[in-house]
Chains A and B, each alone.
Chain A
Amino acid sequence: MGVGLASATAQSNEFVDEVLAQDRITYGNAAYLLLVGSGDLDESASLSYARDRFESGPAALGRGVNESVTLGEYSLLAMNAFGITGGMMYTLVPSPRYAARELAFRQVIQGRAYPRMDLSGQRAMRLIGRVLTLDEQGRLR
């Protein structure tokens, strides 16, 4: 989590506190966290704008900004935000199921990796922290 927080220093304390307090991270918070973390979004952008960025791309979830996302859906957003290449099945079917498998293989997801399980804000922070660590080490490609 420390890496994620350190790498996303521009995020407001309020936003981080809100994410950490969520038992189920919302689409808006997940999208904002990932896009700011990947450097593709200015921190001043709104959660709705962050969500809309995904909705206009291949990882659209068709969900409202305040609706929660699962572990697999968050993995799919992360794969797209950071341009992570997947395996054969992900290439054929870029879905939450195979996104979660890919991130589990890369040890971004540690512990249980059920694609449809709820994702807390704390766990989401840990996941993006590991993605940023891999990115810094040049091991995302």
Chain B
Amino acid sequence: MRHLTHIPTVAGRRAVSFRPRTVVPLLVAVFTATVVATAPAQEATWSGTLDGTGSGRFADHLEEDDLSSSLTAALTGRGFAEIGTDSTIEMVVRPSYTWTDDRPYLLDLERMYTDVQVPQIVGPASVLRLRAGRFRLAAPDPGLFNDTLDGVNASVSAAGVRVRAGAGYSGLILNPVSNIRVSPADVADGADDDELFGPQRIMAFGELSVPEVALRQTVRLYGIGQWDLRDAEEGETTIDSYYGGAAVDGPIIPGLFHSVGATISYADAEDTDSLGILSRAQLRYFRSDWNSSRLALRGVVASGLGGDTDQFAGISEQTVGTVAELPRENIAYGELSYGLRPLAGAPTRTLRDIQTSLTGRMMFRMDTDRPVDALGASQTSSGALLGTEAVAQVGWRATSDLGVSVDGGAFFPADGSSGSFTDQRATEYLLRLQVSASF
């Protein structure tokens, strides 16, 4: 509950022009509690989770092995009530406590939202779904953001069409867990322990989906905007950005599905504008009779649209590569992955649910005049290849309330005339163990 009782500080860096503070989440909580408490049929339950992660990163260019671990304990409370004959309201609250190497503890309010569902809102087959509060809000292109925000998401589904709109604010999310980083100042704030909250930005979007418009293909059109609510300090730049995009997905033949889409970005800074594109194409093939096999081929491009200063303007900080973790800008990559359940025919569920996968990935620079923003980047090479990566994963859902996952891989950076790195960047290895239990 810390975010409800503290005024966020900006460490004197910027003037703040918008202060929703505690009002919105508090109103949501009071409204929901009132409705749930007075509704005729109501239920409540709770659950808890323990999630632990340990990882090691090894490479010759690292001064010492990079070992890290974290443990998060979370409690979830959930309440539900019927309103009238068909409508429902549900409230979810999830505080958590995290131990990491970086800090002795992190007390967070991960979720606090209310869901309202009203059927037959604009017709017999229609339904309104409204979610408000703190929750994970995904943009129509999740490559832009898919993060915990304070906001609202509303959708109306009717025969043949679905309309969705949403908005979120990142200025009340604790800084260590906020991933919204648009400008260099945002990135600098992210590493500043004196900053209590994430950048004060608002994201909003609208999306129109036409499910199975023809040949079972679903078409989506969307627009997204992102605004910095702070005034720029001396020597800093605020960046607002706007996006438009489209996506098509659906089956091709039984078991084979495709998904293609592109988002154009326009970033508006004080002294410069920038155009960019994030496009992706994916094919996925499922065969349940081949030990639940899943084969996927994926390609992504994130780059500027031609000018020297052009680049794709992301909203949340995203990286490419499980091991490499390269910035997702001025980059193209292709990956092939194959997964299966090797013991799918075993007599017990515990063994049947063991999943394995292998992924190979190749990454390239789009504009070879610009060095990659990573350790060991060559400042002179015009080679496009960034490197290749191989990742293996084994996931085991031992019981319904205990899961274990191990993944590991290697990144082989490309150097020389055809590569983007110098030989200062060595082959890098990652090994990670994740354990999750619920109670």
A residues contacting B by CB (< 8 A) are 86-90, 97, 101-102, 105-106, 112, 114-118, 138-139, 141
Contact = CB atoms under 8 A, between A and B. Distances in A.
Contact of B400 (A101, A115, A138): A101
Contacts of B352: 139
Contact of B399 (A87, A112, A117, A141): A87
A131 to B, nearest CB: 14
A89 B44 CA distance: 19
B401 interface: yes
Interface in B329-365: 347-349, 352
Nearest to A140: B349
Nearest to B401: A87
A117 to B, nearest CB: 5
B148 to A, nearest CB: 23
5 contacts: A87-B401, A89-B439, A101-B438, A105-B401, A141-B348
Contact of B437 (A88, A90, A139): A88
A116 B400 contact: no
B402 A88 contact: yes
Given A89-B439, A114-B44, A141 B347 contact: yes
B85 interface: no
A112 B80 contact: yes
Nearest to A91: B399
B45 interface: yes
Nearest to A112: B80
B86 interface: no
A102 B400 contact: yes
B399 A88 contact: yes
The binding surface of chain A is classed by DSSP as loop
Given A89-B439, A139-B349, A141-B348, A114 B43 contact: yes
Nearest to A98: B401
B43 A116 contact: yes
B88 to A, nearest CB: 8
Given A87-B402, A88-B402, A116 B45 contact: yes
Closest 6 CB pairs of A and B: A87-B399, A114-B43, A105-B400, A87-B401, A87-B400, A117-B43
A116 B43 CA distance: 7
A3 to B, nearest CB: 19
Interface in B26-82: 41, 43-45, 47, 78, 80
Contacts of B43: 112, 114, 116-117
A106 B400 CA distance: 8
Contacts of B401: 87-90, 101, 105
A25 B401 CA distance: 28
B75 to A, nearest CB: 15
A73 to B, nearest CB: 14
Contacts of B45: 97, 114-116
A15 B45 CA distance: 32
A90 B43 CA distance: 21
B82 to A, nearest CB: 10
Nearest to A105: B400
A112 B78 CA distance: 11
Given A87-B400, A89-B401, A114-B45, A141 B349 contact: yes
A141 B399 CA distance: 11
B404 to A, nearest CB: 13
A117 B82 CA distance: 12
Contacts of B399: 86-88
Nearest to B346: A141
A139 B439 CA distance: 23
Given A89-B439, A101-B47, A138-B347, 18 more contacts: A87-B400, A88-B399, A88-B401, A90-B400, A90-B401, A97-B45, A101-B438, A105-B401, A106-B400, A112-B43, A114-B43, A114-B44, A114-B45, A114-B78, A118-B41, A139-B352, A141-B347, A141-B349
A69 to B, nearest CB: 15
Nearest to A117: B43
A3 B159 CA distance: 29
Contacts of A115: 45
A130 B438 CA distance: 24
Contacts of B439: 89
Contacts of A141: 347-349
